[in-house]
Chain A
Amino acid sequence: MQCRDKRRVELFPVSMDDWDIVKMLRTTPENRNRCLSELIKRHYALVVNIGFRFFSDRQIAEDMAQEVFLKVHNTLERVSVGKQPFINWLCRITTNTCRSWYRRQASESRALDEKKIDFWHSAYENTDRGQEDRDAIFHVNNTLQKLSPKERMSLILTYIAELPTSEIAAIMNLPEYSVRRLVNRSEEAMRKQLAQQRLEKYALV
Chain B
Amino acid sequence: MRLYDYDDESEMDRLLNRGFGRLPIDDECIADATEKILLRAMKQNVSKCRNVVSFKLRHLYAIAASLLIAATAVTVFIRHMNEPDIKSSVISTIPVDNSVAVIASTTSNFDTTACGRENVYSTTDQSQLLLGIGSRTRTVIFEKTTLKVLRVNISTAAVKIDHGMIAVDVKKNTKDDSITIITPYANFTNVGTRFSVFADSVHGAGVEVFSGTVRATDREGNAYLIHAGSVWRSTNAGVVTNLTRSVAEVEHLANVFEANKFKEPVDWNLDYKIQSSDSVTKGNKGKRRREESAEVSELFVVDQVRNAISESCYTVLDSLLMVTLDRSYADTIYDIMLSAADRKHMKMHYSEEEQLRSRMANCDLFSVRKREAASAALLLLHKKYLRTPPATLLALVRIHRETFVDGTFNEDMGAEEAAILTKLGLYHETIECLEFLLKKYPKSSHGDYWRYTYATMLREHGDKVEALDAYEMYILNHPRGAYLEDAMYWTVDLSHSLRLRKEHLRAKNRYLQSYPSGRWVEEIKVSR
Contacts and interface: CB of A to CB of B under 8 A. Distances in A.
Given A159-B16, A194-B12, A198-B4, A175 B472 contact: yes
A12 B169 CA distance: 77
A120 B22 CA distance: 11
A166 interface: no
Interface string B4-38: 11100000100111111111110000100110111
Give 10 nearest A-B pairs by CB, closest first.
A140-B19, A136-B18, A159-B20, A195-B6, A136-B19, A45-B25, A40-B34, A73-B41, A69-B37, A37-B34
A160 B22 contact: yes
Interface in B453-493: 463, 465-466, 469, 472-473, 476
Contacts of B5: 195
A40 B25 contact: no
Contact of A66 (B18, B19, B36): B36
Contact of A70 (B18, B44, B469, B503): B44
Given A133-B18, A136-B19, A141-B19, A70 B37 contact: yes
A135 B1 CA distance: 10
Given A52-B23, A141-B19, A65 B33 contact: yes
Nearest to B25: A45
B500 interface: yes
A73 to B, nearest CB: 5
Nearest to B15: A136
Given A41-B30, A121-B23, A36 B38 contact: yes
11 contacts: A33-B38, A36-B34, A40-B30, A44-B34, A49-B22, A66-B33, A121-B23, A140-B19, A148-B465, A185-B465, A198-B4
A185 B12 CA distance: 15
Given A44-B30, A137-B18, A194-B15, A123 B24 contact: yes
Contact of A46 (B15, B22, B41, B432): B22
B3 interface: yes
B23 A139 contact: no
B519 interface: no
B40 interface: yes
A195 B4 contact: yes
A110 interface: no
Contact of B23 (A49, A70, A135): A49
Nearest to A49: B22
Interface residues of A, number: 52
Interface string A34-62: 00110011001110110011000000001
Range for the number of chain B residues in contact with chain A: 35 or more
Contacts of B19: 136-137, 139-141
Interface in B31-53: 33-34, 36-38, 40-41, 44
B500 A137 contact: no
Nearest to B475: A175
Contacts of B20: 53, 140, 155, 159-160
B37 A36 contact: yes
B6 A40 contact: no
B518 to A, nearest CB: 24
A190 interface: yes
Q: Is the interface of B mostly helix, strand, loop or mixed?
A: helix
A44 B38 contact: no
Interface string A174-188: 110010011001010
Contacts of A23: none
Contacts of B12: 191, 194-195
Interface in A149-205: 150-151, 155, 159-160, 174-175, 178, 181-182, 185, 187, 190-192, 194-195, 198-199, 202
Contacts of A139: 15, 19
A77 interface: no
Interface string A119-144: 01101000000001101110111000
A66 B22 CA distance: 19
Given A36-B37, A178-B472, A181-B500, A133 B21 contact: yes
A170 to B, nearest CB: 14
Contacts of A121: 23
Interface in A91-147: 103, 120-121, 123, 132-133, 135-137, 139-141
Contacts of B40: 66, 70
A116 to B, nearest CB: 10
Given A150-B466, A202-B1, 20 more contacts: A40-B37, A41-B30, A44-B30, A44-B33, A45-B22, A48-B25, A53-B20, A70-B44, A121-B23, A140-B20, A159-B16, A159-B20, A174-B469, A175-B473, A185-B465, A187-B16, A194-B15, A195-B5, A198-B4, A199-B3
B512 to A, nearest CB: 20
Contact of B34 (A41, A120, A132, A178): A41
A73 B37 contact: yes
Contacts of B500: 181
Interface string B180-215: 000000000000000000000000000000000000
A80 to B, nearest CB: 20
Contacts of B25: 44-45, 48
Contact of B24 (A45, A69, A140, A141): A45
A199 B6 CA distance: 10
B464 to A, nearest CB: 11
Contacts of B15: 136, 139-140, 194
A182 B6 contact: no
Contacts of A45: 22-25, 30
